[in-house]
Structure 1
Amino acid sequence: MSATLGEFRLIIVMRTDLGMGKGKIAAQAAHAAVAAAMRNQGTAAFADWWRAGQPKVVLKVPDEDTLGLVVGAAEEAGLPVEVIHDAGRTQVAAGTPTCCAIGPARGDALHPVTGGLSLL
C-alpha cells in the first residue's frame, strides 16, 4: 500500500558519508524518532500521526552540507525538525550531526522538502 500525500508521517534523513554500521544507523534513527515524538507530543499533528500507526520513512543524504540544506528547507517551511548530534561514544566524533527527523507532518507539507531524496 503506498502512502498518499495527505497522510501524516515522520521523515528521518540520514547521512551516508559517516561509515556508520547498520546498528549505529538504527540507533541514530531511533534517537531522531524519539526526539521528534517527545518534542511534538500534544500537537494535533502528533495525534494524527499516532492514530495512523506512526509511519516513518528513512531517506538519505550524502553529507553534512546536504543535511544542513534539508534542515534549513524544513525550518523555512515551518516543519518541526530535530537534528541528532552524536555523543561520540562509538563510531563518530562527539557533536557530529548524523541525521534529522522532520515531522510528524502531512505528506503534502513534507514532499517539497524531502520528495527529491532517495530511500536509505
Structure 2
Amino acid sequence: MTSNSNLQILSVGIVSFLTGYYVSQYLKCSNRRKLKQKKPPIAPGSSSSDASTESSYESDSDESDDGIDVDSTDLNTVPGEVRMTLIVRQDLKMGKGKAAAQCSHATLALYKKITNPNSPAYNPEMVRRWEYGNGQAKITLQVPDQEGMDMLYAQAISLGINAYIVHDAGRTQIAAGSATVLGLGPAPKSIIDQITSELKLY
C-alpha cells in the first residue's frame, strides 16, 4: 500500500468515528431536552420561586455525557512524568473565569473516570503516579475550533489516553451543548505530547 492509501484509510476511520460520536451526542441531547420539558412537581411547602433559586446554583456544565472510557493500563509501562492536559476552544471567546470553570469540569470528570473501579478507565497505578509522582501536574493549551478539538479527541482515544469533552449547559456566555474544553489523561507526558506538542499555551 502507498502512503496515500494509508492516509485515506486513516481519514475515513477518523471521519467514521467522529460521525458516530456526534450522532450519539445529538440523540442524547434530544432525549435530555424531552426530559427537561417535563418539569418535576414542586415539593410541598416550597414555592416556585424556591425552585428557580435552586436552579440558579446549578453547574454550568452538562456532565451527563461521560464519553468513551479507555483502558489506559498499557501506558503504565511508559516512564516519566504523568500529567493531565486541558485544551480550551478559542473560537468561543470564553472569559477567563468561564474557561477556568470548564477546565475544572474536565479535570473532575477525568478523575472520576480513572478512579471508578466499575469503569474500564480504572487505573489506580496511573492515578498514583499523577498524584504523588509530580503533584497532579496539569497544563492548559488552546485549540482554534471544534474541528481541531475533535481530531485531538480521536487521536487521544486511539493512543489509549482517556479523554473527556465538556459540553456547556448554556446558562452563561455560550450556547447550550457547546464543546468548551477537552481534557486528556492523566497519562504520560511523552504520549500526550504526541498529539499536543504543536498547541500553544492558553
User: Within 5 Å, which residues of 2 pair with 1:41-120?
Assistant: 41=115, 43=123, 44-51=125-132, 52-120=134-202
Instruction: Count residues in correspondence.
Output: 116
Pairing 1:28-39 to 2, within 5 Å after superposition: 28-39=102-113
Q: d(CA) in 2 for partners of 1:47 and 1:82?
A: 20
SS at match of 1:11: strand
Select which of 72, 84, 103 maps to 1:10.
84
SS of aligned partner of 1:13: strand
Q: Tell me which moved more, 86-95 or 36-45.
A: 36-45
Q: Determine the structure 2 residue equivalent to 1:24.
A: 98
Inter-partner Cα distance in structure 2 for 1:30 and 1:101: 10
Structure with a larger share of its residues in strand: 1
CA drift at 1:21? 0.7
Structure 2: runs of 5 or more not aligned: 1-78, 116-121
Question: Which amino acid in 1 is paired with 2:81?
Answer: E
State percent identity of aligned pairs.
38
TM-superposition CA deviations, 1:9-44 (whole Å, max 9, x none): 000011011011111011001111111111111521
Pairwise CA RMSD of aligned residues? 1.2
Higher relative contact order (CA 8 A, sep 6+): 1
**2: distance between equivalents of 1:104 and 1:87?**
25
Which whole-Å CA distance do the structure 1 matches of 2:173 and 2:199 have between them? 25
**Which amino acid is 1:7 matched to?**
E
1:91 CA displacement: 0.9
Greater C-alpha radius of gyration: 2
SS at match of 1:119: coil
